[in-house]
Structure formats: structure tokens, C-alpha cells
Amino acid sequence: MSAEVVYGRRPVAEAQRGRRRVRRVWETPEVDAAELTRRAGSSDHQGIVAEVDPYPYADPAAILEPHDALLVALDQVQDPHNLGAVCRSAEAAGANGVVIPERRAATITPAACKASAGAVEHLAVARVTNLAEWLRRAKEAGAWSYGAEAGAAAPYTQTDLTGKVVLVLGSEGKGLRRRVAETCDLLVSIPVRGRVASLNVSGAAAVLLFEAVRQRGRV
């Protein structure tokens, strides 16, 4: 089985507590910083790098099974740091998982692991061939899908986010693709008061996730 790497203090610690096997760990006392940078592929290793088994992606059908599943679906988000930040918020909110497309989208890379602070080691992340088709299957499984879109008529705070829910967020700069947006049951907006037109995808995900948590009485 091929190996992957995880780097950074928190990501390595969470990998050691998580689902995949940690094969070997290199730290600053053992090897110099240049060698750690070479192994990590980044200088942002904080003095520790681990060799681990490949990331265990989840079954996209299985994560729909809980009657009150809270899920995030990302439509071609290509920045691994944004993916990692979304996963960090999803895991902190107690979400059941994150769904990403197999093509033209960031995957769980070492950079995404680092950005998630190791949250991906405890979170179900599923890859799907066609996101719009998966959303249709989610609807058949009893889920309601809410797409985040700037300017949408429905404010997120006035939307029922209880029950089985999929929060759908679009890519950086482009937002939701038309077909994905049309598959959603409702498009919701997050009102902004400043001069910036919209939130970063990870910021928007955190807002929606914790509103869902509030409505479900988990805080």
C-alpha cells in the first residue's frame, strides 16, 4: 500500500489518534529541518512529519444514513487550505461528513490536513463522481439541500436547518455551478454588512454549520 505524509504538530497528533496507521514519525531532534521540508514538501512542518497510510475516504451513501445527518457538500473547491478549513469547522460542529467531487476539486492532501488542524483524521470525507447526482440521491434519502449563494432571497437564519441537511457551497470566485444550484431545494444567503462582497467559502461554511448546530439545540 502506498504511503502519504502528514506534517505539523496537531495534524500528526490527530493522525496518531485517528483511523489510519502511522508508519513512521520524523522529528527535529532526529533529522534536520531541510530533510523534514523535503519529506513534507513544505517548510510549514513545525519540526515533525509522519508517514501514514492513504486517506480512507468514506462511502457517500453511508454518510446519508443518520436521520439527522448534517453534511457539507463542496462544489469544485480547489484550494486545499479552504478544504481543510471547511473540514475543521465541520468536525468542530459535529457534522457527519463532507462531500467533494472527484474531479476539479481539492482532495485530502498534506496541505489540507495541516489546514484542518488534523480534523480530517476524525471526519468522514466522501468523493463523488457527480455532485448534482449525489444531491438527487440525498433528496431521495430524505435530505434537504441548501445552497449558499450571495444575494439569494432566503436568509440563512430564517431557514430550517434541522433534520437531514446538506449545506452546499461553491468554489472560490465562481460559486455554485448552475446545475448544482438547480438541484438544491433552496438557495440561502448570508447577509454581509461590510464592503467585501462575500465570505470566503470556509467562513461561510462555519456560519451555516453553527447556525444548524444552534437550531438543533446542541449549544
* pLDDT tens sequence across 153-180: 999 999 999 999 999 999 877 889 999 9
Mean pLDDT of the region 84-92: 98
Given this model, what pLDDT does residue 218 score? 62
The answer to whether residue 192 is domain-embedded is yes
Torsion of CA 27, 28, 30, 32, to 10 degrees: 130
Distance of alpha carbon 51 from its chain centroid, rounded? 22
**Residue 23 and residue 93 in one domain:** no
Q: How many domains does the chain have?
A: 2
Structure letter (DSSP) for residue 80: H
**Residue 46 and residue 103 in one domain:** no
> Beta partners for 169?
74
**Residue 20 and residue 87 in one domain:** no
Question: Do residues 118 and 20 lie in contact, with contact meaning Cβ atoms separated by under 8 Å?
Answer: no
Give the whole-angstrom CA distance, residue 49 versus residue 56.
Answer: 19
Residue 111: domain span: 62-215
* Residue 216 DSSP SS3: coil
The CATH number assigned to the domain holding 154 equals: 3.40.1280.10
Mean pLDDT of the region 2-7: 94
Reported in sequence order, the residue ranges of 14-78 that DSSP labels E, i.e. its strands, are 22-27, 48-52, 70-75
Mean pLDDT of the region 145-159: 93
The answer to whether residue 57 is domain-embedded is no
- For 91-127, what is each residue's pLDDT tens digit? 999 999 999 999 999 999 999 999 999 999 999 999 9
Mean pLDDT of the region 187-216: 89
